[in-house]
Amino acid sequence: MSTNDPALLLPDVMSKVASLGPSALAAVHQFLLRLELAQLTEEIQDEAEALRLAGKLEPELIEAAVREHRAKHPYGR
C-alpha cells in the first residue's frame, strides 16, 4: 500500500495488528510507546525553545518561580 491517507491506512494497520501473536503485539506496543515518547520529546523541545526565545526561561525567572512555589508548598519544612 503506497498511500498516506489515514482513512485507507488505518483499516490495513488495524487488521495486521489484530492478527499478531503475543510477542509481536508486545513489540508493536513498545514501538508505539517509543514513537509517542519521541513525539512528546520533540513537542517539549519546540515549546522550550519558543519560551527561551521569548525570554521566559531566564535563570532568574526560573529561580524566582521555584522560590515562590516552595513558599506556597513547604513540604513539611
Q: Using one digit for the tens of pLDDT, what is the confidence trace for 63-72? A: 999 999 999 9
Do 25 and 31 form a contact (C-beta atoms < 8 A)?
A: no
Higher pLDDT, 69 or 4: 69
What integer pLDDT is reported at residue 76 of this predicted model?
72
Average pLDDT over residues 55-63: 94
What is the per-residue DSSP string for the chain? -----HHHHHHHHHHHHHT--HHHHHHHHHHHHHHHHHHHHHHHHHHHHHHHHTTTT-HHHHHHHHHHHHHH--TT-
Confidence of residue 4 (pLDDT cuts 50, 70, 90): confident
Asked if residue 77 has pLDDT above 70, the reply is: no
